[in-house]
């Protein structure tokens, strides 16, 4: 059996596919993964034993400029990604039985599957982007949502129109070129009726929260057996557990001055700091021996040894910290990050920073909440309840679905 997995987005969109690919290979499935050609993503997939099939531009080239991507950039990127999916997936999916797509609105993936007669699955890592009567859509490039409108149904219809404006023209042009009829609603066409949700039910409860009958598998975790760097091990052993501060692969535009604010706030709580450089290139603010800077590191090994994790609120970092039983301070900026910040606060396993730009005072307040014994007790209690087999659950389900589809085509 052969399966192709596809994504375009940050590390949080790629690493789960590496975890799923590893479990599929354990079941004897031949796996191909189409993802952005960033070097660190190739390394992730290499750990899963799967080569990266380049799809679209590198993410770093899009997000790591002097300014955040603009709406104009988004309208230029959307047709580029649609074209890349038709070209790359058409070749990669030849001879496969199923195609699973995730990441930034994967318009084009379902269409390739349709043309080749493959079983298609859309997967997501949170519910934030799925139409719902319970919450409004997030920000998206294009026409603003109706001002003053509070009916979420109306807002989600407007969101569908924004997706059509971004992807509809190029998608239907490529569909016509391969003999397929046009689609009227790109967003719901991509979601395909029954999306898969790769998230834990405690962190991301979904029952009745969206307009879809979701298949919730649990998080797709890529096991990490890498040792921590010797210097970091020595730093951890030299004192009390530090606070980890990092803002992920999408942090090229981290809050201005965040390194100084974070280090000083941690010091005010009597805590040392492990500072993750990330794409923002964060660096220690002085030569004090209470701050240790790291590059890409095994968070699964590190987080159980820290006092708290200060981060941007990506699904992957939130889940890794939760499974480690580490209290969290979430400083959300975009997309699903406010959702994860709210969940951390609701569960009592940390604090949600109010706003995207922390000050010494505001981050100190959040740290005081996260560093209490009561918060740690709740975080560790939750950690004991979180399943870690979500990738295998999804792999078995995909094999079953793909096998049924393959038989139906005989």
Summarised one tens digit per residue, pLDDT across range 259-301 is 999 999 999 999 999 999 987 788 999 999 999 999 999 999 9
pLDDT of the residue at 355: 85
Structure confidence at residue 253 (pLDDT): 56
How far, in Å, CA of 315 to CA of 341, rounded?
Answer: 10
- Domain with 248, as residue range(s), is 230-383
Same domain membership, residue 342 and residue 217: no
Q: Examine the domain organization and report whether 376 and 394 are in the same domain.
A: no
Q: Do 50 and 145 lie in a common domain? A: yes
Judge if 133 and 32 occupy the same domain: yes
Say which CATH number the domain at 328 has.
3.40.50.2000
Say if residue 399 is in the same domain as residue 375.
no
**Arithmetic mean of pLDDT over the chain:** 93
284 with 366, same domain: the answer is yes
- 97 and 29, same structural domain? yes
Residues 28 and 78 in one domain: yes
Q: What is the pLDDT of residue 68?
A: 76
Q: Is the pLDDT of residue 312 over 80?
A: yes
What integer is the mean pLDDT of 198-222? 94
pTM of the entire structure? 0.93
For residues 344-359, give the mean pLDDT.
94
Predicted local confidence at residue 251, as pLDDT = 52
What's the pLDDT at 410?
A: 33
| Residue 356 pLDDT | 86
Q: Is the pLDDT of residue 376 over 60?
A: yes
Same domain, yes or no, for 198 and 292? no
- Mean pLDDT is lowest, of 141-150, 153-162, 248-257, for 248-257
Task: Indicate the number of domains in the chain.
Answer: 2
Q: How confident is the model at residue 44 (pLDDT cuts 50, 70, 90)?
A: very high
Same domain, 245 and 126: no
Do 95 and 210 share a structural domain?
yes
The reply to whether 161 and 270 lie within a common domain is no
């Amino acid at each position: 059996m052969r399966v192709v997995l596809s994504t375009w987005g940050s590390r949080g969109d790629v690493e789960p596919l590496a975890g799923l690919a590893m479990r599929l290979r354990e079941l004897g499935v031949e796996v191909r993964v189409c993802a952005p050609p960033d070097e660190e993503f190739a390394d992730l997939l290499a750990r899963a034993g799967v080569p990266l099939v380049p799809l679209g531009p590198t993410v770093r080239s899009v997000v790591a400029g002097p300014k955040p991507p603009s709406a104009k950039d988004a309208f230029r990127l959307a047709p580029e990604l649609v074209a890349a999916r038709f070209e790359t997936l058409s070749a990669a999916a030849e001879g496969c039985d199923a195609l699973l797509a995730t990441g930034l609105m994967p318009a084009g993936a379902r269409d390739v599957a349709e043309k080749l007669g493959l079983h298609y699955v859309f997967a997501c890592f949170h519910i934030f982007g799925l139409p719902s009567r319970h919450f409004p859509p997030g920000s998206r490039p294009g026409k603003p949502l109706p001002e003053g409108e509070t009916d979420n149904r109306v807002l989600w219809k407007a969101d569908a129109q924004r997706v059509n404006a971004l992807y509809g023209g190029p998608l239907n042009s490529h569909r016509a070129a391969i003999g397929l009829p046009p689609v009227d609603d790109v967003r719901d066409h991509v979601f395909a009726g029954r999306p898969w949700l790769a998230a834990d039910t405690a962190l991301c409860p979904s029952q009745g929260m969206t307009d879809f009958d979701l298949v919730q598998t649990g998080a797709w975790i890529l096991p990490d057996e890498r040792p921590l760097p010797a210097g970091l091990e020595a730093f951890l052993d030299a004192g009390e557990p530090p606070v980890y501060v990092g803002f992920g692969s999408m942090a090229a535009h981290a809050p201005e001055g965040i390194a100084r604010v974070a280090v000083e706030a941690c010091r005010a709580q009597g805590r040392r700091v492990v500072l993750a450089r990330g794409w923002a290139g964060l660096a220690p603010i002085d030569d004090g021996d209470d701050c240790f800077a790291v590059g890409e590191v095994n968070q699964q090994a590190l987080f159980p040894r820290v006092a708290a994790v200060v981060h941007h609120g990506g699904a992957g970092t939130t889940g890794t910290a939760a499974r480690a039983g580490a209290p969290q301070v979430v400083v959300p900026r975009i997309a699903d990050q406010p959702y994860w910040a709210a969940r951390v606060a609701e569960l009592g396993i940390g604090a949600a920073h109010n706003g995207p730009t922390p000050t010494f005072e505001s981050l100190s307040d959040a740290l005081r909440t996260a560093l209490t014994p009561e918060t740690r007790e709740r975080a560790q209690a939750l950690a004991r309840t979180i399943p870690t087999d979500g990738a295998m659950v999804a792999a078995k389900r995909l094999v079953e679905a793909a096998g049924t589809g393959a038989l139906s085509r005989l």
